[in-house]
Structure 1
């Protein structure tokens, strides 16, 4: 019997409302994985957002129980999905995260308003800002759970990778003017981060 059995994998796209997760997801989402998205469930079934969120949670739990690869998108502003990732990691899943943020929650507010004007779903301004703060506070708890973690600043027209973790190695991008080393340490809680060329290759 081979000892190199591949671990089941979870790919998670996380970050505050209006950060541009969906854009990153569309670029990087593995096409060979089950994709669980509450917005798509709501559109497909015609249910309300609470019911869609419940169905999405049930599908994630079912994948973990079946040890099946899957991918999902989340604001990650509460412990619920973080606890799911912790439990999956403890059960042998490989956790890969793409975290998308901006340098200022007002950018998120503007983008959500732009999305609504184009026919997209709304999120109240107070919720956007509260979730932004809670989500960034949880990054310190998210990074240790992940085998691989990429953090992108999507404040401008093009996403810019500011942090990368692979196993027990950590890099930050020295060219990111808005994210000095001390800012990355404050965001991630990782003090052993070193300089790296994070935007020359994926």
Structure 2
């Protein structure tokens, strides 16, 4: 998969920010390595920072926030991961403000069919020595993640929505939005995305 906005910096001089969003266990890091890293974008990842710096998740989240803000001030291309579940919309506001500052901003949303699937994916990750997330947090984050996607679709310059519920058919592109308008959409949409569009 290639997208024209990934090359905006070399074409127009505009810096590019890619936000990879989705529930815990959706496959955000794998998506980054397959589709965004090859374009030369460094990743700001709070989980990775927590591991590398031996700090707790809340400290790592603050370090990641500071790093994102520094990169924007320096007009650097970069990507970051987010569960996109904050109830007050801070991440969405950050993306909107970054776009207004002259960045090309793209949100790649990786969706799962249910909170139950998020729980199963995280359990699978833990069995492979990955990091855990409490089940109650996974359950509460899932609907907030979809609520923030609903707001993002109409307010961000570029939004790509993928379904990663079926690992045998990973990262199925469901829809592309440019400046709030759907420019591409599959005919058969999963139930979770219908709820976002309702």
Asked if these proteins are the same fold (TM beyond 0.5), I'd say: yes
Range of TM-score over shorter length: 0.7 to 0.9
How far 1:99 moved relative to its partner?
A: 0.4
How far 1:44 moved relative to its partner?
A: 1.6
| Residue among 136, 161, 165 paired with 2:173 | 161
Alpha-carbon separation, structure 1, partners of 2:127 and 2:12? 48
Aligned length: 182
Partner residue, 2:8: none
How far 1:5 moved relative to its partner?
A: 4.0
Give the alignment's Cα RMSD to 1 decimal.
1.9
Partner residue, 1:135: 145
What SS does the aligned partner of 2:145 have?
Answer: helix
Q: Which structure shows the higher helix fraction?
A: 2
Structure 1 segment 85-124 matched on structure 2, within 5 A:
85-124=95-134
What SS does the aligned partner of 1:149 have?
Answer: strand
Alpha-carbon separation, structure 2, partners of 1:126 and 1:11? 28
How far 1:146 moved relative to its partner?
A: 2.6
Alpha-carbon separation, structure 1, partners of 2:146 and 2:114? 11
What SS does the aligned partner of 2:133 have?
Answer: coil
Instruction: List runs of 5+ in structure 2 lacking aligned partners.
Output: 1-10
Contact 2:20 2:82 in 1 (8 A): yes
Partner residue, 2:136: 126
Structure 1 segment 1-202 matched on structure 2, within 5 A:
5-31=12-38, 32-78=40-86, 79-157=89-167, 158-167=170-179, 169-170=181-182, 171-176=184-189, 178-179=190-191, 184=193, 186-188=195-197
For residues 90-149 of structure 1, give each alpha carbon's deviation from its aligned partner in whole angstroms, at most 9, with x where no partner exists: 111111121001112111111111111221111111110110110101112112333221
Instruction: List runs of 5+ in structure 1 lacking aligned partners.
Output: 190-202
Aligned pair in 2 of structure 1 residues 120, 184: CA closer, same or farther (>3 Å)? closer
How far 1:185 moved relative to its partner?
A: 5.9
TM-score, normalisation: structure 2: 0.84
Contact 1:89 1:145 in 2 (8 A): no
